[in-house]
Chain A
Amino acid sequence: MSILNERIQALLQDSGTAKVLATVDKQGLPHIVSDPSISVNNEGQIIYLELIETSQSNVNLVNSIWFKRKVAIHLSKGEESYQIKGYPAYSVICGPVFEHYYKLSLERNPEFDLSTVWIIEADEITDDTYAARKNKEREKHPLITHLDRLAK
C-alpha cells in the first residue's frame, strides 16, 4: 500500500510543482535531474519517464533496482517542500503501460522517444519545509540555537 498521502499525490500530479530526482552511481556519486513530468499512478507509485536510454540517471536507476539502492525525489511548490525516498520497483520497457506513457510523451513533445517507464515505490516521506525541519531540530536538540532568539 502506498504511503503517499493525498496532498503529496496532488503535488505529484501538479505540473506546477518543482520535481527533482536524485540517484547515485556504482561509486556513490550523486546525480540529479529536474523533471516536471514526474507523476503518480493509480496505485500511488511514482512515475519517472526516462527519455534517454544511456543517461546517467537511467544507468543509476538500473543499478538501484538491481542492488536495492534508494533514490530520492524532492517536491516543492510555494512554501511546501517534501523529500521522498524509495526504491525503483519496475523498469517498464514494453507492453500497455509503456505504450500509454510513450503516447503521452509524444503529445508533450513529438521529438521525445521514451526509453523506460520507471515505477518507484516510496517508503519514506519527510516534510522538507524550513519550519518543519527547524521544529524537529528544536524538539530533539534544544541546545542548538542562538541565545538572542531566547532573550526577553
Chain B
Amino acid sequence: MEQQQEATIEPKKARTGIIDCDVHPYPRNTEEIRSYMKQPWRERYNGGGRGFYGNPVHGDRLDARPPQGGPSGSEPELLRRQLVDEYGYAHAILMPRAFCNLHPDPDFGNAIAAAYNDWLADTWLSKYNADGVFKGSITVNTQDPQAAAREIERWAGHPHFVQVMTDSGARAPFGQRQFYPIYEACEKFGLPFAIHPGTDGMGINVQPSPGFPTHYIEWHTCLSLGFQAHLVSFLTEGVFERFPRFKIVLVEGGVSWLAPLMWRLDAEYKALRYEVPWLKRKPSEYLRDHVRITSQPLERPDNDAYLLQMFEMMDAEHVLMFSSDYPHWDFDSPTRAFPKLPEALHRRIFSENAIEFYNL
C-alpha cells in the first residue's frame, strides 16, 4: 500500500538448467477447481487447506502474492519471473496442494484429486506451458487405492505428468499392502511416487509424533518423522522386491536424517533379518535404485563442513535433488540455500539426478 518500489533488480537471464522438484501452483480461486467437479461434490467442495497448524506469521512468500490479488503461486507470469527466469530453470516439477486424503468420505477425496488433475492438465501443463518448462504430478487419494490406480491410468499417457503424488499424512505407513494397487500402477506406467507434507494429523490421518503438538514450530519440525516412518516401512515391507521398478521421492521431509536412519536400520537388519526374509540386500542398499529425496528445507548447520559430510554420508551425489518449495515461506533460494559445492556434485543435485529420475 505504502510501498513505493522505485527500482527493481534485473533478473539473471542465463539458463542454468536447474530442475526444481517442488513448486506449488495454486488455482486462482475455489471455483476454478469446483468447475471440474460433478454434483454433489461441486456444491460441497469449499476449497479449504490443512485446517489447522497454520504458520502464525505468513505461510507464503509475501513478494509472491500477485499484485492483482489471488493466492501466491496462482499467476503463471509472476511465478515464471520470480523463479523460472530469475534462476534460469530447465524445469519446475509442480505439486498442487489438494489435501484430498484427509476426508473420511473416500468418494469425496477421489473427486477432489480428479478435479485437481483436470485443472492442472488444462492450465499449468498446457495453457501456461508453451515451452514445456512445467512438469506435473498426478494427485491421488491414498485412502482409496483402487480408485487412485484408476486415476493414475487416466493420466499416464500425458506428456507432462511425470509422477504420482500424495500427502505424507496417512492412515498407515506407506509400505503396507493396502496401498499396493497404487504402486502397481506407478510401476506399470513408469511413474515415481512422491510424498509431500500436507495432511499429517489432519482429518483421518495419524500425526507423526506422540499425540498432537501445541505449536506450528513443533508440527513443522517434526514432519520429517513421518517421512522416516514411511521410508522404513517401504524398505522393510519389501515393496521394492515386490515392485522392482517402483521408485519413490520424499519431498520436503528433511534431508540430513537419512544417513543415520539407514545406519540404524542396517544394524537392526543384521539381527532381525529373520523377520523380513524377502529383503535380499541390506535395507540401505535399495536407496540408490529406488529412493530420491529433495533438498528443501535444507538443514543448514553453522559449519558448512558438517553439511558437506552429511551429503557424502547419505550419497547425495545419487539421491539428492534440488527443490525450492516456491512460493512457501520457507523457500530455499537455488543460489543461497546451499554451501559452495564441488561442481560435479552441484550438477548432480541441481539437475542430473532429476533428469535421470524423471526421464526429462
A and B held together in a complex: no
